[in-house]
Structure 1
């Protein structure tokens, strides 16, 4: 009996439940999730669909959401300037002593001066025999040398040079010694000035010397010098060589030397113009960097009046020699 009564009343109970839920939601209109009144806002973007807000579960409030931090305003620049690109103040000027940022600049300047005084005043030396050889010639065999030495620092130094040749059993055909002051004008080139003393065939001569030598692009060792004797004779010389490495120890060195004169010097067998030219090709093996035996060939020729004077003296105007020698330095 009770079951029939419940079934008869169920439609009325369902209608009452729906009505109660409708009244419950209508009571929340115009309020936020926490029961506070929310202002009515118009759509800031007409024509665009607004996202559907997410409603919290019944009986709960939305958790507090962290809002994004506001973008800080850019710092103001110096008075009368703005911070647009190109108008920012320049960075601080860099110094050659970073330690000045942490220590007294005056103390750092004194320490730098002391360091330059100790290391800038260091001296070095080197002696090099680029050519020290025996020459097998068609006539009488002979010898030849070409040596240099220097002592000093990176900028200024004393330079000594010597070269010459002769035949076995005879006096020196030609020899010279130069004492020069050498001054670096850049990392690769030096200017040199001093005196040159000649010995050998004919009367001895003393010359004032000025020239330049250095390392050209592609590792050419070049030198050019002018000489003025005490008698007013003017001579000039151009020379150069290059080391072509076949291996780390086997090295081929082509070499050229040309001598010129502004006038005839009959007593020394020198004619005006291009007087002599020497071309050489030497192959050496470096047992150590400081010691290298070599073999090669050398060709010498006289030109112009020098050639005529040589023939008048019964000498050959040109000669080819097979050479063997030692290149060393210390």
Structure 2
């Protein structure tokens, strides 16, 4: 066999085998996929993992009786509760008594609320205000004093001896006598007043006086202590004095005589000892102001003070 003939035979054989292979391939483009029943297909044989079988629910909440579980409903007691009577209410809420137990033990205190100095026009000035008491929590004896010296001369001074009786946990009624050392000659008054702490912790002292020659007077004091820290205390104070009639010889006018206001900041080195600085303002009104002008004195005065507060 010649070489040409051999080549022709090999080419014919290869062509035949190629045609046989093409005939066995599936023509997927001609397949009708809508007619394929996928439910009958074995996907596990196709190499894909089958999805896990769904597990049945442990509880079917749609059929559960929530009322039996106590949700949203209150189970009726087996034994019905009896109706509440007036005797039950009286036993649960007994009437409260307002009586307080008072101690028979005696106490005492001395307070120097103001002991201060400043530089006045007529020289160094000194002012004091002090009180002391002794007794029980119900009955007390009070001793009070206040005054002012300017340039070594006492311009005003008084002392009071009072008996006090507690009428509530915060208030005492006091009654006694007051003696004015200055201004003018000494003068005595009968005194009655109220001492205590008003709402919001305002300390109040209101005292009325009836003196010789039908003179009457009223003294009102109010102060407050604002804590600015563990040792710093800011104390505003207001004091007013009223008189029933004019007394030119004593520099007293009818109505509002003087009004004093002060603001003091103290540092409590100890609770019993506290130096302070502050400002004090005083003004005379009405006839008292006219009498001061006639004497060439100032109607009002504003000064810076320094002092100490102590108690024992």
Question: Cα RMSD (Å) of the superposition?
Answer: 2.2
- Correspondence for 1:40: none
3-state SS in 2 of match to 1:309 = helix
Residue 310 (structure 1) aligned to one of 288, 292, 297: 292
SS at match of 1:141: strand
SS of the residue corresponding to residue 214 of structure 2 reads coil
Which runs of structure 2 are paired with 1:99-178 in the superposition (5 Å)? Answer: 120-170=103-153, 172-178=154-160
1:206 lines up with 2:188 in the alignment: yes
Separation (CA, whole Å) in 2 of partners of 1:282 and 1:201 = 27
- Equivalent residue for 2:208? 226
Q: What is the CA–CA distance in structure 2 between the aligned matches of 1:260 and 1:88, rounded to whole Å? A: 57
Would you say 1:84 and 2:82 are equivalent positions?
Answer: yes
Structure 1 residues 278 and 72, CA, compared in 2 at 3 Å: closer, same or farther?
Answer: closer
Match of 2:267 in 1: 285
Q: How many angstroms does 1:73 deviate by?
A: 7.8
- Structure 1 residues 92 and 202, CA gap change in structure 2 (3 angstroms): closer
Instruction: Indicate the structure (1 or 2) with the bigger Cα radius of gyration.
Output: 2
Question: For residues 50-61 of structure 1, what are the structure 2 equivalents within 5 Å?
Answer: none
Runs of 4+ in 1 over 3 A off after TM superposition: 71-74, 87-94
TM-superposition CA deviations, 1:183-229 (whole Å, max 9, x none)? 11100111111000001221211000011011111111011111000
TM value normalised by structure 2: 0.69
Matches within 5 A, 1:60-71: none
Q: Is the 8 A contact 2:189 2:210 kept in 1?
A: yes
Q: TM-score, normalised by structure 1?
A: 0.65
Match of 2:58 in 1: none
Residue by residue over 1:95-114, the C-alpha shift from the partner in whole angstroms, topping out at 9 and shown as x without a partner, is x9xxxxxxxxxxxxxxxxxx
Aligned residues: 230
SS at the partner of 1:203? coil
Structure 1 residue 92: deviation in Å? 8.9
**Structure 2, unaligned runs of 5 or more:** 1-76, 95-100
CA distance in 2, matches of 1:244, 1:160: 26
> 2:222 matched to which residue of 1?
240
Match for residue 167 of structure 2? 185
Check whether the contact 2:128–2:147 (CA below 8 A) recurs between aligned residues: yes
Query: Residue 154 of structure 1: CA displacement?
Result: 0.5
Map of 1:13-28 to 2, 5 A cutoff? none
- DSSP 3-state at the match of 1:183: strand
Compute the displacement of 1:85 (Å). Answer: 0.5
Distance 1:280 1:327 in 2: 14
